[in-house]
Amino acid sequence: TAAPESQPFQAEVAELLNLMVHSVYSETDIFLRELISNASDACDKLRYEAISAPELITDGAPPVIRIVPDKKAGTLSVVDTGIGMDRQELIDNLGTIARSGTKSFLSRLTEAKDGAGLIGQFGVGFYAAFMVAERIVVTSRRAGSDQVFVWSSSGGSGFEIAPGSEDDAGRIPRGTEIVLHLKEDAKKYLETHEIERIVRAYSDNIQFPIELVPEEGEPRQINSASALWQRPKSELTPEDYKQAYQQIAGAFDEPAMTLHYRAEGRQSYAVLLFAPSAKPFDLFDQARKGKVRLYVRRVFIADDADLLPAYLRFIRGVIDSEDLPLNISREMLQNNPQLAQIRKAVTSRVVSELEALGDKEPEAFAKIWDAFGAVIKEGIWEDFERRDKVLALSRFTTTKGEKRSLKQYAEDIKPNQTEIYYLTGDSVERLKSNPKLESAAARGIEVLLLTDPVDAFWTSAPTDFGGKPLKSLSQGDIDFSLIPLLEDKADDKGADGADAATTVALIKDALGERVSEVRASQRLTSSASCLVAGGDGRDRQLERLLAMQNK
Ligand code: ADP
Ligand code: MG
């Protein structure tokens, strides 16, 4: 056999490994979860490829994941009969960082004082194994290939790649064997009870059987290996759901919302969706792509099928269809009418569940809103069909408090008030001292204080809620004359008509061309003047945003 060839890691990998090896992170258990999740993905990919190339699995080896401790050798192996990797895939997948967002994760990891905490929060995939192993040997055979390749590394700056021996080829009919030469302080992972504990805690719901192959005795399956979303709700505990969420999303937080149901009728499908309670580090990195996984009769098909609109891209989970053809191609996914129906129905369901959660469990909802509110609000702009519902579930900071819904706003609305008022700006603090609020405050009128960049966009289209248009206090005419002043302001003197006309003329003279109009205003009670856009003028915040982009 040919001599092994040395290759350097991509700089980011070397950096990540360095962090792994020297990590003081104590929850090293997660390495096994990451390896099992990769093995499960590999079995999913094989099943998918075998739909159009059945010969790939005709050798009969069913998809399975085996965990093999060897105390004498001090090694723990994770073996799968999945898709496997050829030489180039080994080099690409285990030598570079393919995951979107990992780069930004790394820069945060190096910045953060508590880098270890971040590792625990997000997981770092395959490389997590270097927390417990001083050397890793990966032997793999791509499905359908007669060649086996061996990748090995002790961390550091690079890895070696070589063709496998005859012995390797005999041992591995298909798939991947990952052998971890455990560090001295990680030898506990050779104990079968440790392995079982971790698998039960993190990987019980992996769909494929996970077998523990003890040094003595028979191999035995240690997970339940069922597609959790196919099981009846009544059988499942919150702990089951939490584990399923963490496993499907590769997350470490608790789900803030769990939605599990089965649709029957013209189409049958199972839905298991979660809203995270914490923001993933790559939320704003991605090309606004969702990650909900599409299955067809329990076979994984794709995780980029846009099963939900972009403003719900933070939702994670699975949709498993009974009716779609198994051999549905990528192109078909784009414009399949059945899938479009599922998408529509599930989107409506998610939006109304979020709305209901906001009413029934405000604390859980607040977590979702804090993490993803700015994303959800894109829906006010984008989802014309559900705009009212998205508005109804939105929460705002207003002059009356935080996390106010428009329903609450409507309940507290002043007599004769026919519009919902807002101001856009950079920070709530600065908005609060904006003179444009004075007159509203004098009348006890609530004003939404909008500070997310997305607010400038959705407010630029005419929007109303419950028949009341939303109106910017920095745009055009505001008529508060029918809304009474609060009692303690009632004796404030309004501008005298004649006085106002003279003053306006004087100011107009002084400013000349620089303003299009000068008017006496009801907006102000103690400030002398403020700048506003014309009635159909663009909002000043949007103007600034656009100016920034045109730079
Ligand atoms: P991720 O799973 O998020 O892509 P990982 O670091 O866990 O990131 O894995 C990197 C890549 O290595 C995977 O995307 C996959 O292509 C490949 N890989 C890892 N383990 C296996 C395996 N057991 N079988 C096949 N491919 C694997
Ligand atoms: Mg992985």
Sign of CA dihedral 284, 286, 288, 294: negative
Ligand whose nearest atom lies closest to the CA of 97: 1
Sign of CA dihedral 383, 387, 389, 391: positive
Give CA–CA dist 318/300, Å, rounded: 9
CB 164 within 8 A of CB 177: no
Question: 472: exposed, middle or buried (C-beta count within 10 Å: 0-12, 13-18, 19+)?
Answer: buried
What is the chain's percent helix, strand, coil content, to nearest 5?
40, 20, 40
Reference 470, options 357, 377, 353; nearest CA is: 377
Alpha-carbon dihedral 536, 539, 544, 549, rounded to 10 degrees = -70
Ligand whose nearest atom lies closest to the CA of 90: 1
Reference 121, options 317, 15, 278; nearest CA is: 278
**Residue 150's CB: how many other CB atoms inside 10 A?**
21
Tokens of 161: 């790649």
Give CA–CA dist 273/342, Å, rounded: 14
What's the Cα-to-Cα distance from 7 to each of 92, 126, 134, 158, 159, rounded to whole Å?
Answer: 11, 18, 18, 6, 6
What's the Cα-to-Cα distance from 341 to each of 245, 269, 335, 337, 344, rounded to whole Å?
Answer: 25, 11, 11, 6, 5
Q: Which residues of 300-338 are buried (b: 16+ CB within 10 A; e: fewer)?
A: bbbbebbbbbbbbbbbbbbbbbeebeeebeeeebeebeb
Ligand whose nearest atom lies closest to the CA of 94: 1
Please report, in angstroms and rounded to a whole number, the separation of the first and last CA atoms in the chain. 60
ipTM for the whole predicted complex goes beyond 0.90: yes
Backbone angles phi, psi at 364, to 5 degrees: -65, -40
Q: Which of 41, 65, 66 to mutate for ligand 1's pocket (most ligand atoms within 8 Å of CB)?
A: 41
Q: Give the pairing of strands 464-465 and 468-472.
A: antiparallel
Question: 468: exposed, middle or buried (C-beta count within 10 Å: 0-12, 13-18, 19+)?
Answer: middle
Distance from residue 85's CA to the centre of ligand 2 (Å): 14
CB 213 within 8 A of CB 187: no
pTM of the model: 0.78
CB 353 within 8 A of CB 257: yes
Alpha-carbon dihedral 316, 201, 78, 302, rounded to 10 degrees = -10
The DSSP line for 332-353 is: HHHT-HHHHHHHHHHHHHHHHH
Q: What is the mean pLDDT of each run of 10 residues along the chain (551 residues)?
A: 86 82 74 92 93 83 94 98 96 78 66 60 78 96 96 94 96 96 97 94 88 94 91 94 90 94 94 93 69 90 90 96 84 87 97 97 96 94 94 96 95 93 94 91 95 91 92 86 77 55 76 77 70 63 57 39
What residue owns the CA closest to ligand 1's atom 11?
93
Reference 476, options 506, 427, 436; nearest CA is: 436
Q: Which of 16, 32, 38 to mutate for ligand 1's pocket (most ligand atoms within 8 Å of CB)?
A: 38
Residue 5 one-letter amino acid: E
Q: Which residues of 33-59 are buried (b: 16+ CB within 10 A; e: fewer)?
A: bbbbbbbbebbbebbbebeeeeebbee
Q: Where are the beta strands (DSSP E) in 36-166?
A: 65-70, 75-80, 133-141, 149-153, 158-163
Can you tell me which residue has the tokens 């933070």?
Answer: 314
Give CA–CA dist 463/332, Å, rounded: 35
Give CA–CA dist 108/110, Å, rounded: 5
pLDDT for position 551: 39
Pocket-forming residues, ligand 1, beta carbon under 6 Å: 34, 38-39, 41-42, 80, 82-83, 85, 93-94, 98-99, 125-126, 176
Give CA–CA dist 139/150, Å, rounded: 4
Tokens of 420: 């919902």
Q: Which residues of 162-175 are buried (b: 16+ CB within 10 A; e: fewer)?
A: bbbeeebeeebebb
Distance from residue 434's CA to the centre of ligand 1 (Å): 53
What's the Cα-to-Cα distance from 367 to each of 26, 40, 256, 456, rounded to whole Å?
Answer: 27, 30, 7, 23
What residue owns the CA closest to ligand 1's atom 18?
38
